[in-house]
Chain A
Amino acid sequence: MDEREIQLGNLLADALAAFSDGRSADVDALIDQAGDDRAELLDMIELALMLQGPALPAQVDVETIAMTPAFDPRSWPAILTDARHANGLERPSLITQLADLLGFSSDDAREQMRVRYHELETGLIQPAGVQRPMLEALGDLLGGIRDTLAATRLAPVGPLHDEVVFNRKGFPDVGDDTALMLMSKAMAPERTPDQRAVDALFGI
């Protein structure tokens, strides 16, 4: 048996002991000691863990981790709505505070904030794209739920909220350029810089 296998065997044993004792953070240093054999050691760690079978967590540990934000099964529309109601905030009041906190004072920015927040709370915008300053501002204004929002950004947004209403904006299929011309006229006007800045915060 060569020296390398002896060293890797010892590192493997130490890593398994660290996991068993709840010292996962210590495993990084052990893996680093493997140098170029890092991948090899990780292979053996994974194999050994598989053979040992899953851990048997204590009930108190289960209760503790289950209440951490990452395990919140709700998606953003439900989290935002629940938190807003819990804090006694109507949407206009929240929008005003949000705009103030993020430094938007113009009317067009505040109107854009209203539109986008409505879309976010009703599930029309995916939270995955919301930028960090917006997430933190919402988290602070809605009762200190930054961690919950950050931990649930990737949760699939469920069925659209009851408040969502679609306007019908169809165009007749006239078979010539008329439809394109109508669509062109119906396109949204150019956004102002403030509106674009607000959109960017919402990931749009």
Chain B
Amino acid sequence: MPDSASHDADLVRRARAAHAAGDLDAARRCAGELWLRYQPQAYAASRRRARGSEADEVFGHLQLRFIRWVYYRDTAPQNMTGLLNQMALYAYGDLQRTEAREAPTVEAIDDYGDRDLGRRGNPNEVALNQLLDRDLIEQLLPVLNERERILIDRMLENAPDAAVAAELGVDPNNLHQIRFRALKRLRDEARTRELTA
């Protein structure tokens, strides 16, 4: 299995090539696989913007935007979670415009500001969007203690909780709290770096 980033890039490249060649079924399959890979992230991103039925609508618009991005844009996938958060922000704007009976402009549909991804929104979201990139997480690991670092390493390896708890010698129930604290430390460090950058 190739690494995640190259597999994502390959799916996007194949979807766009198939779309351009008129092989619409192949384009749909590639876009569908990429969407399913990040559907939980999209769900969480939509819940950050709204609640209840409105969050479901944001999720629906976000999916449309994601698919259009795959088919029609020429940028490579990077920091997919940050990209989804940006799209959720725009998707929420779709709903606001719809309520105002105002059609979105082409620019509003199509521009995610890829080059400055994560540079919009409030400072906390900016820091989080930048942190939501696996390539950057390594730089933040030094803020963790040994136990937390092992836990994060095992998350990166997708190790089951029971195995990680055994390795760390903690009750599996305590693992949840250690994980929460470790993630919080990473986020707070990202915020600090963003504010001092």
Contact = CB atoms under 8 A, between A and B. Distances in A.
A133 B66 CA distance: 26
Interface of B: 1, 4, 8, 19, 24-25, 27-29, 31-33, 35-41, 43-45, 47-48, 51-52, 55, 60-61, 63-65, 67-68, 71-72, 80-81, 85, 94, 103-104, 106, 109-110, 124, 128, 131-134, 137, 152, 155-156, 158, 161, 173, 175-181, 183-184, 186-187
Contact of B24 (A45, A70, A74, A128): A74
A180 interface: no
Given A47-B131, A55-B39, A203 B64 contact: no
Nearest to A56: B37
Given A10-B176, A46-B81, A156-B72, A51 B137 contact: yes
A129 B38 CA distance: 29
Interface stretch (A61-69, A116-124, A162-170): A61-69
14 contacts: A13-B176, A19-B43, A24-B43, A27-B47, A44-B184, A46-B41, A49-B44, A50-B41, A55-B38, A56-B1, A62-B32, A70-B60, A70-B63, A155-B68
Interface residues of A, number: 52
Given A42-B47, A49-B41, A155-B68, 6 more contacts: A5-B181, A6-B176, A9-B180, A12-B176, A45-B44, A50-B131
B81 A57 contact: no
Per DSSP, are chain A's interface residues mostly helix, strand or loop, or mixed? Answer: helix
Contacts of A55: 36-40
A71 B176 contact: no
A52 interface: yes
B39 A24 contact: yes
B63 A53 contact: no
Contacts, number: 169
A140 interface: no
Closest 8 CB pairs of A and B: A66-B32, A54-B37, A57-B36, A9-B180, A9-B176, A129-B103, A9-B177, A66-B28
Nearest to B34: A54
A13 B8 contact: no
Interface in A164-204: 203
Interface centre among B81, B133, B177 (most CB of A within 10 A): B177
A72 interface: yes
Contacts of B152: 51
A59 to B, nearest CB: 9
A128 B177 contact: no
Contact of B64 (A43, A67, A151): A151
Contacts of B27: 73
Contact of B128 (A9, A46, A49, A73): A46
Contacts of A12: 176, 179-180, 183
A112 interface: no
A116 B142 CA distance: 62
A47 B183 contact: yes
Contact of A48 (B94, B133, B134, B183): B183
Contacts of A43: 124, 128, 183-184, 187
Contact of A154 (B1, B29, B68): B68
B103 A48 contact: no
A46 B81 CA distance: 8
A13 B134 CA distance: 20
A66 B25 contact: yes
Given A9-B177, A12-B176, A28-B55, A71 B110 contact: no
A82 to B, nearest CB: 11
A57 B33 contact: yes
A73 B43 CA distance: 22
Contacts of B29: 62-63, 66
